Amino acid sequence: MLSLIKSLWLVFLHLFRKRFTIQYPEEKAYLAPRYRGRIILSRDPDGGERCVACYLCAAACPVECIALDATEDENGRRYPDFFRINFSRCIYCGYCEEACPTYAIQLVPDFEMAEYNRQNMVYEKEDLLIDGEGKYHGYNYYKVAGIAIGGKDKGEGENESSPIDPKDLMP
Amino acid sequence: MNPTLQTLAVTLGILFTLLHVAAVLIWVERRLLALLQDRLGPNRAGPLGLFIIVADVIKIFTKEDWIPPFADRPLYVIAPAIILLTALVGFTIVPVGPGMVVLDLNIGILFFLAFSSLGIYSTVLAGWASNSKYALIGGLRMAAQMFSYEVFMGLSLMGVVILAGSLNLSEIVEAQRGMWFVLPQFLGFVIFLLAGLAETHRLPFDLPEAESELVAGFHTEYSSMKFGIFFVGEYIGLTLIAAMIVTLFFGGWLGPAWIPAPLVFCFKTFAFILFFILMRAAIPRPRFDQMLSWGWKYLLPLALINLIATGALVLIRAD
């Protein structure tokens, strides 16, 4: 009986507490840096596309919302001819980001992407590509990859020793 | 003023206020509950979110009014009307100011008790006519709850009647000029408060409704305005109980002379409505057997003791 009166009083005191409500359009909630929101495609420090069109993101995607087609430029550098994400299917699981070997595809803290027309939820490559490096700075896949490409020969990459001649017997 | 005209004005005034209070309470309850839970509640539509009332009314009127094919049609339709009607008729004997009463009955309290217990037919018939298991269980619970709590609801008021020496509510209010009856009749007040809450099946005594166990209890099958009338009836019943507590225990319209009597009455009533909402926020719903055993084992004997003690004291004083 006394506990009931006590709980009445304690609940009454809650009238004067601080509100937990965040009044959304005026106040924004804090989004952590690693929040999984809108998907972007980043560029390397030199301004080239990081994406090498390996299809791993499309394979990892559980709802199959990523579509792309690979192609090569004159240097033999792979890049996606088109890259399309249907955000009305995307579940923001972040598997594409985990699968990506080049840090190209990233999820950023932004969820305000409502549209009146469902077709507008399909983002093309030019909508996805940003000018910066996103969350991972200073990484340039082709600089550290051991393949000859665009004037860079084998052994000329960063932290890369020159190739071994397998026919040479010298230590 | 012409007495007929005055009665008409008072009647229409009370009816107008009540029906609007029932609508405004939707907003009051949602806002207050939110505040008690550290939230803000509906505050977007219009100033302070008041237009939510309009939105709610429009919504409830434009919903499909569906009568289940398995329902007992005439009873199903008439059930919501009963709760509204009895609650409104019960209000006719409540004096909101000196001489401002629709029916100045000399058996006011009996009239009130009669109509508030007639209200039970609404929930029981709704539960029966819906022909669905949840509704039926809700209706049965309402019947049992009503039987057990009605008994001492009347008994708890008898102390007031002994002190005032009248069943007429206006005279009871006048008898409280010296001291509000809540002091000599504190036990009676607490018992009446609990019984009144059980009678209006408000939380924490909303066992007939109990959404966590019975979907929505007796009005599970109701939709649109039929459901809306249950809602309005519940709010008017709540207001009626608050008004009766104020009239019987808190001096009714008695107050500072510079405030108009009806305003004093409305203010006190509103304070009790807010208290009921606080109770809804703070107290969990008891188990059904707990609730019934509380009623029979504690509240009924307490009400009897209160009645006997009051009677004895009045007799001793009279000597």
pLDDT of residue B1: 61
pLDDT of residue A60: 92
Name the residue of chain B whose CA is nearest to A26's CA: B44
pLDDT of residue B53: 87
A16 interfaces chain B, CB cutoff of 8 Å: no
State yes or no: pLDDT of B66 exceeds 70: yes
Burial class (CB in 10 A: 0-12, 13-18, 19+), B122: buried
In chain B, the number of structural domains is: 1
Residues of B in contact with A23 (CB under 8 A): 40
Whether residues A10 and B282 touch (CB distance < 8 A) is answered with yes
B45 interfaces chain A, CB cutoff of 8 Å: no
Distance from CA of B276 to the nearest CA of A (A): 11
Long-range CB contacts (within 8 A, 24+) of A16-19: A17/B38, A18/B38, A19/B38, A19/B39, A19/B40
Mean pLDDT score of chain B, rounded to an integer?
85
- pLDDT average, residue stretch A141-165: 79
How does DSSP classify residue B30? Answer: H
In angstroms, the Cα distances linking A24 to A21, B13, B56, B270 are 9, 41, 23, 32
Q: Which of A165, A158, A128, A161 lies closest to A45 in space, CA to CA?
A: A158
Q: Which of B241, B250, B1 lies closest to B116 in space, CA to CA?
A: B241
**pLDDT tens for each residue of B111-148:** 888 888 888 888 888 888 888 888 888 888 888 888 88
For the ranges A107-116, B49-58, B255-264, which has the lowest average pLDDT? B255-264
Q: Which of B215, B252, B219 lies closest to B233 in space, CA to CA?
A: B219
pLDDT of residue A98: 92
- pLDDT average, residue stretch B297-304: 89
- pLDDT average, residue stretch B45-62: 86
- pLDDT average, residue stretch A126-149: 85
Q: How many CB atoms lie within 10 A of CB A33?
A: 7
How many Å apart are CA B82 and CA A137, to the nearest integer? Answer: 72
Q: How many CB atoms lie within 10 A of CB A136?
A: 13
Name the residue of chain A whose CA is nearest to B43's CA: A23
Selecting from A4, A19, A20 the residue whose C-beta is nearest the C-beta of B283 gives: A4
How many Å apart are CA B305 and CA B292, to the nearest integer? Answer: 19
More confident residue, A125 or B175: A125
How many Å apart are CA B211 and CA B207, to the nearest integer? Answer: 9
Residues of A in contact with B36 (CB under 8 A): 11-12, 14-15
Whether residues A7 and B279 touch (CB distance < 8 A) is answered with no
Q: Which of B199, B207, B194, B190 lies closest to B238 in space, CA to CA?
A: B199
Q: Which of B245, B255, B138, B143 lies closest to B199 in space, CA to CA?
A: B143
Whether residues A14 and B283 touch (CB distance < 8 A) is answered with no
How many Å apart are CA B146 and CA B122, to the nearest integer? Answer: 12
Q: How far apart are the first and last CA of chain A?
A: 90
Distance from CA of B97 to the nearest CA of A (A): 31
Per the structure, the complete domain to which residue B207 belongs is given by 3-318
Q: How many CA atoms lie within 13 A of B35 on its CB side?
A: 15
- Domains in chain A, please, with CATH? 28-136 (3.30.70.3270)
Whether residues A20 and B38 touch (CB distance < 8 A) is answered with yes
**pLDDT tens for each residue of A39-91:** 999 998 888 888 999 999 999 999 999 999 999 888 888 889 999 999 999 99
With b meaning 16 or more CB within 10 Å and e meaning fewer, what string describes B177-202? eeebbbebbebbbbbbbbbbbbbbbb
Tokens in use for A3?
């506990």
In angstroms, the Cα distances linking A97 to A61, A93, A105, A145, B284 are 10, 9, 5, 19, 47
Whether B35 and A21 have beta carbons less than 8 Å apart is answered as no
- Point out which residues pair with A72 in neighbouring strands: A78
A21 interfaces chain B, CB cutoff of 8 Å: yes
- Interfacial B residues in 260-299 facing A (CB < 8 Å): 278-279, 281-283
Complex confidence, ipTM: 0.76
State yes or no: pLDDT of A155 exceeds 70: yes
**pLDDT tens for each residue of B178-210:** 788 877 888 888 889 888 888 888 878 888 787
Name the residue of chain A whose CA is nearest to B281's CA: A11
- Please report the sign of the dihedral spanned by the C-alpha atoms of residue A141, residue A142, residue A143, residue A145: positive
- Please report the sign of the dihedral spanned by the C-alpha atoms of residue B207, residue B213, residue B216, residue B221: negative
How many Å apart are CA A92 and CA A155, to the nearest integer? Answer: 39
A11 interfaces chain B, CB cutoff of 8 Å: yes
Residues of B in contact with A1 (CB under 8 A): none
Mutate to test the interface with A, among B36, B186, B285 (most CBs of A within 10 A): B36
| Band of pLDDT at residue B84, cut at 50, 70 and 90 | confident
